[in-house]
């Protein structure tokens, strides 16, 4: 019973890289100077691979489905990188960054969804 619960919880957890980036974005949202934290989050997220090729291969997916998931994953990553970039621009202009950071958090979550 405990093993099933642990397995179920781990299936819904974010990939470690995504968790780290989201933590950074959350810290930036409350920081007096969010710019360095946002820049660090962008650097960390740039290393994120949105598609787990091992999982796709193990599932026996066809090449077209695999290619489609790769394109979708990279589109999601691009959108998230763009959202982080908008938050960085707002921070450079000393504007209100909270809404931009919240948007970036949502898009980073979305980009991490294909890793499951």
Q: What gap in Å lies between CA 85 and CA 3, rounded to an integer? A: 41
* pTM for the whole structure: 0.71
Residues 8-47: tens digit of each pLDDT: 333 444 567 899 999 999 999 999 999 999 999 999 999 8
Q: What gap in Å lies between CA 34 and CA 94, rounded to an integer? A: 10
Q: What gap in Å lies between CA 98 and CA 90, rounded to an integer? A: 9
Q: State what percent of residues in the chain have pLDDT above 90.
A: 49
Residue 52 contacts by C-beta under 8 Å, 6 or more apart in sequence? Answer: 114, 115
Q: Provide the pLDDT confidence category of residue 103 given band limits of 50, 70 and 90.
A: very high
């Amino acid at each position: 019973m405990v093993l099933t619960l642990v397995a179920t919880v781990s299936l819904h957890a974010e990939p470690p890289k995504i968790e780290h980036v989201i933590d950074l974005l959350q810290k930036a949202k409350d920081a007096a100077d969010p710019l360095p934290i946002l820049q660090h989050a962008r650097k960390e997220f740039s290393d994120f691979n949105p598609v787990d090729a091992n999982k796709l291969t193990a599932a026996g997916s066809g090449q077209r489905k695999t290619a489609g998931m790769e394109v979708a994953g990279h589109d999601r990553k691009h959108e998230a990188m763009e959202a982080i970039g908008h938050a960085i621009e707002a921070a450079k202009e000393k504007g209100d960054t909270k809404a931009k950071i919240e948007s970036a958090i949502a898009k980073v979550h979305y980009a991490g969804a294909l890793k499951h």
